[in-house]
Amino acid sequence: MPEPLTPGELLALDRQHVWHPYGPMPGKAAPLLVGSASGVRLRLAEPVEGQDELVDGMSSWWSAVHGYNHPVLNDAAHGQLERMSHVMFGGLTHEPAVRLAKRLVDISPEPLQHVFLADSGSVSVEVAVKMCLQYWRSLGKPRKQRLLTWRGGYHGDTWQPMSVCDPDGGMHELWQGALPRQIFADAPPAGFDAAPDEAYAAHLRELIGRHAEELAAVIVEPVVQGAGGMSFHSPAYLRVLREACDEHGVLLVFDEIATGFGRTGALFAAEHAGVAPDVMCLGKALTGGYLTLAATLCTTAVADGISRGALPVLAHGPTFMGNPLAAAVADASISLLLSQDWGQEVKRIETGLRNGLAPAADLPGVREVRVLGAIGVVQLDHEVDMAAATRAAVREGVWLRPFRDLIYTMPPYITGDDDVARISAAVCAAAREG
Ligand SMILES: *Cc1c(COP(=O)(O)O)cnc(C)c1O
């Protein structure tokens, strides 16, 4: 065993050597040191604000839908570990990857039949983009290599995904000019239940029609735009995109990395609209938050198109493609999800968040409170004071990670009613202090 390090030593080394997401080097704000996690609780290595454990309102960036240290997922991981943690996927295959792929085909919208297993959400978006561009190249239309999206989106931090993130005010604004230049529609009008705006639908149709010659694909997050602003829109616009893409010969990609596996109240957000994309990206909750894994699914038409090209293969193959450990846990996580009335759990959390967050609407500085499925959002009329808001939540015994003007929660589906109430109270406290 290595020499144990004290919490103080760990935090000092962390600050000196370790990058954190979107962080400076050396680090500024001290992260909380987590020793273990179980159920919906993170146990801190040393108490902070008098708390030695925190109810997790974030599901570790929306992935840990079953909570932590779940016996079923632990068993799946242990069992697979005894067989093999990893083997290469070139020239070899294995049961966990085959089972998972078949399962994803079975539960996703019907036309999606083929699965590329990638190692992170951003990579699955890169693969989706490559699929679309290569499809048109293979069909002799190499000019079709741009993407269209609507503003307010987020698709990851690698190069192609960054090019379709919201170009203004987001984390990737710095790279304007260096990134491929894509085509941006206005952000979709807000409100899941709002009546569709005909003028906006016409705007989408016009833009897709005008750029059809150079468009490979339209890529959007269906129903919920996550890290780009936690906003909800009417599923009707997804039907508009589907129709316009079909009419003008453009592929449609749904990035369901945040929305997949029940978060919005449907297993996949595409189901709210009753349309299927040509390509779909999954990630985050895919392994129940245990391991990094993502998937890009496509239709047989897309796969066939690629196979007809001068280069009849999809030239992509990460070292850890199809990782058996991650695939086995993902399959167990999906089984676990489907073995229960997950829709009822998400509804229960939705009701709890609606009740618990309602008081926030009356707080000074709050612009809007919105809830959809197991997603609760309080939007301020100013940039949140992240340190103050986080501290306020920790004082309530809850872990939240606000950003921009948003204090939000996406709790694990196993969060009990009392803990949903506690998370809601913490969001309100964070809104008051932030
Ligand atoms: C998180 C996210 C990504 C990126 O996934 P990573 O695993 O962080 O690379 C892409 N798209 C959406 C919608 C996401 O929420």
Give 50 Cα–ligand 1 centroid separation in angstroms.
33
Phi–psi pair at 33, nearest 5 degrees: -95, 115
Distance, CA 173 to ligand 1 centroid (Å)?
17
Annotated binding-site residues read: 61, 121-122, 154, 255, 284, 317-319, 401
Residue 32 · residue 43 · CB < 8 Å: no
In the structure, which protein residues have their CB atom closer than 6 angstroms to any atom of ligand 1? 120-122, 125, 154-156, 221, 226-227, 255, 257-258, 283-284
State both tokens at 297.
Answer: 């699914």
Q: Note the pLDDT of residue 170.
A: 66
Written as tens digits, the pLDDT of the chain (434 aa) is 788 999 999 999 999 999 999 999 998 888 999 999 999 999 999 999 999 999 999 999 999 999 999 999 999 999 999 999 999 999 999 999 999 999 999 999 999 999 999 999 999 999 999 999 999 999 999 999 999 999 999 999 999 999 999 988 766 778 888 999 999 999 999 999 999 999 999 999 999 999 999 999 999 999 999 999 999 999 999 999 999 999 999 999 999 999 999 999 999 999 999 999 999 999 999 999 999 999 999 999 999 999 999 999 999 999 999 999 999 999 999 999 999 999 999 999 999 999 999 999 999 999 999 999 999 999 999 999 999 999 999 999 999 999 999 999 999 999 999 999 999 999 999 999 99
Taken in order of first residue, the domains within the chain and their CATH numbers are 32-62+341-433 (3.90.1150.10), 73-338 (3.40.640.10)
This prediction has a pTM of 0.98
User: Closest ligand 1 atom to the C-alpha of 153?
Assistant: 13
What is the pLDDT at residue 177? 86
C-alpha–C-alpha distance, residues 331 and 102, integer Å: 10
pLDDT at 280: 98
Active site residues: 22, 154, 255, 284
Which pLDDT value is given to residue 2?
Answer: 82
Query: Relative to the CA of 227, which ligand 1 atom is closest?
Result: 15
Cα 351 to ligand 1 centroid, rounded to whole Å:
27
